[in-house]
Chain A
Amino acid sequence: GQNIDQPTEMTATEGAIVQINCTYQTSGFNGLFWYQQHAGEAPTFLSYNVLDGLEEKGRFSSFLSRSKGYSYLLLKELQMKDSASYLCAVRGVGIFGTGTRLKVLA
């Protein structure tokens, strides 16, 4: 079967660092995407990993370990506007996790 797991909700404080984990079991693997989705809006692309290691993009970084079927999204210097759902997706299309709803508190 194919499965992607993410925590349902996380809460963090403004200015802090938060790590959102994603584990996957899929029949194929062509890469892993992270998307951000604010309530009532469409998902927007954040990052893409196809090789093991850490990809850094400003305040956001994404890590992948293919042997462990594991990825995480790291958000630094959290801001209130980072409150959103974060979706992990394997193969880019068609297989998404349920998303992690992140609340950033003042």
Chain B
Amino acid sequence: ETGVTQTPRHLVMGMTNKKSLKCEQHLGHNAMYWYKQSAKKPLELMFVYNFKEQTENNSVPSRFSPECHNSSHLFLHLHTLQPEDSALYLCASSQEALRSGNTIYFGEGSWLTVV
């Protein structure tokens, strides 16, 4: 139990579907992140939220839309995805965003398959 909970753990969706991934952290952290992990590729940072405000978007296509209600809850809305978007999507949190020495705590990930 890492203190970061993601749902669903597995998701299969068609290219025309709309779905959402949810992340909740119980660590009292102020920063939350979405990462994408594809096979044989480095972990890719997608979005950073600090105190509910988006502070970083690493050129992520608009078919991925994050939403942050508060420092504890983060969503990733998915719409008209492509098969190459199939990957493990990891949510993470830390005390503050992008600060030296902050340990990043990851959720267990949501395995997404786009068919």
Taking Cβ atoms with an 8 Å cutoff, the residues of A that contact B are: 4, 30-31, 33, 41-45, 48, 50, 87, 89, 91-99
Contact = CB atoms under 8 A, between A and B. Distances in A.
Contacts, number: 63
Interface majority SS (helix, strand, loop, mixed), chain B = loop
B103 A45 contact: yes
Contacts of B109: 41-42
Nearest to B111: A40
A91 B111 CA distance: 26
Interface of B: 2, 4, 33, 40-43, 45, 48, 56, 58, 90, 94, 97-109
A93 B98 contact: yes
Given A44-B2, A87-B43, A94 B58 contact: yes
Nearest to A98: B42
A93 B40 contact: no
Given A93-B94, A94-B58, A42 B107 contact: yes
Given A50-B101, A91-B98, A93-B98, A44 B106 contact: yes
A98 B102 CA distance: 21
10 nearest A-B pairs in the assembled complex, by CB-CB distance: A30-B100, A42-B106, A94-B45, A96-B43, A42-B108, A96-B42, A45-B103, A98-B42, A43-B106, A31-B100
